[in-house]
Amino acid sequence: MGRYLIPLVLFLVLVIFLAIGLGRDPHEVPSPLINKAAPGFQLPQLKDPSKSFSAEDMHGKVWLLNVWASWCVSCREEHPLLLAYSSAGAVPIYGLNYKDKREDALAWLGDLGDPYVLSASDTDGRVGIDYGVYGAPETYLIDRNGVIRFKQIGAVTPDIWEKRILPLVKELNGQGNK
């Protein structure tokens, strides 16, 4: 009996490991930026390039930085959700328009609606490198002290919004009131 049990157990262990491996998204690389200060930047605003936007402007606020581009397919998928969340107003959403052409980006927002308080233009993707962006859309939740608390690689889903982002936003907003 024992001699059949051992291969069976080994086989089951193998199956479990492979099943876990299959269920994982290899594109989700854990970011080393979690719980680190959000890299500073100073970029022109998309709608009015004469004005600039910097990460330091957001000090004292809990905010989302959403990396998007008009060429990014998943961003289009994510867009209606962002519009809904933005109008719900739980947390302000700022955009980082990543490696995009200004006209394309403005047309995109014109066609689909603008969920962002404002977007900053990272035309050459240099700020994207500082934020470790490698697959738009990516979303960063940044706390009052300018520390990145959560990063979503790929489109935000209702599940992630309800279970990860909203609770964390509540927690972070609560901390400041004490």
Q: Which of residues 59-118 bind another protein (CB under 8 A)?
A: 99
The answer to whether 147 touches 37, Cβ cutoff 8 Å, is yes
Cα–Cα distance, 147 to 63 (Å, whole number): 10
Contact code string over 27-66 relative to another protein, x by CB under 8 A: x-xxxxx---------------------------------
Cα–Cα distance, 102 to 99 (Å, whole number): 9
Q: Which is nearer to another protein, 100 or 143 (CB)?
A: 100
Q: Which is nearer to another protein, 148 or 169 (CB)?
A: 148
Cα–Cα distance, 120 to 97 (Å, whole number): 6
Q: Which is nearer to another protein, 142 or 172 (CB)?
A: 142
Choose one: 21-29, 52-60, 156-164, 165-173; the region binding another protein (CB under 8 A): 21-29
Q: Which is nearer to another protein, 63 or 98 (CB)?
A: 98
Cα–Cα distance, 137 to 70 (Å, whole number): 10
How far apart are the two ends of the chain, measured CA to CA in Å?
63
Instruction: State the nearest-atom distance from the C-beta of 10 to another protein, in Å.
Output: 11
Instruction: State the nearest-atom distance from the C-beta of 29 to another protein, in Å.
Output: 5
Q: Which of residues 115-174 bind another protein (CB under 8 A)?
A: 124-126, 128-135
Phi, psi of 159, rounded to the nearest 5 degrees? -60, -50
Sequence-distant contacts of 50-58: CB under 8 A, at least 24 apart = 52/120, 53/94, 53/118, 53/120, 55/142, 55/146, 56/146, 58/94, 58/142, 58/146
Instruction: State the nearest-atom distance from the C-beta of 167 to another protein, in Å.
Output: 25
Instruction: State the nearest-atom distance from the C-beta of 36 to another protein, in Å.
Output: 8
Q: Which is nearer to another protein, 28 or 171 (CB)?
A: 28
Cα–Cα distance, 76 to 70 (Å, whole number): 8
> Using CB under 8 A as the criterion, which residues of the chain lie in contact with another protein when the complex forms?
26-27, 29-33, 99, 124-126, 128-135
